[in-house]
Amino acid sequence: LKRMSEVYPVPLNDLWLDADDTDAGVRLFTAEAAEATSRVLDRPSASGVRTPYYEYRDAAMSRCSQFRPEWIKELRIVPSSDPSHPDVQLNNGHLMMQTTLFIGPVDFYYTDRHGVVRRESMQTGDSNFIS
């Protein structure tokens, strides 16, 4: 494949296929396995002290997938619906595109195209797409 990529104008990553790591197209990931990957992210609070904000856990995925799903739990509950409340901390980045499926209620904060921070109250079954 490397030689083919050198001879023809085709990137090596377009030729490489990872081995299928599924069982007939299915991957299972238990709650116990997810819990073992738990990590807590701290963010500054209104008082400036870093406190737990989110807990992240890995979820079922395949190495053939183009995205890496995660389980996220809010650990800091903001006591106001004001998106500029100092306890609100926006994410520092995400993949090029991200879909979130909510099990609510969850307050979702984002910056709109005009640079204004917005809050949406999401409920179980709601979702978003970020690009």
pLDDT, tens digit (0-9, with 9 covering 90-100), for 80-91: 999 999 999 988
Q: Is residue 66 predicted with pLDDT exceeding 80?
A: no
Residue bearing tokens 């995205």: 67
The model's pLDDT over 112-124, given as tens digits with 9 standing for 90+, comes to 999 999 999 999 9
Q: Tell me the residue type at 38.
A: S
Contacts of 27 (CB under 8 A, 6+ apart): 21, 60, 61, 62
Q: Is residue 95 predicted with pLDDT exceeding 70?
A: no
**Phi, psi at 56, each rounded to 5°:** -110, 145
Greater confidence, 104 or 110?
110
Query: Model pTM greater than 0.85?
Result: no
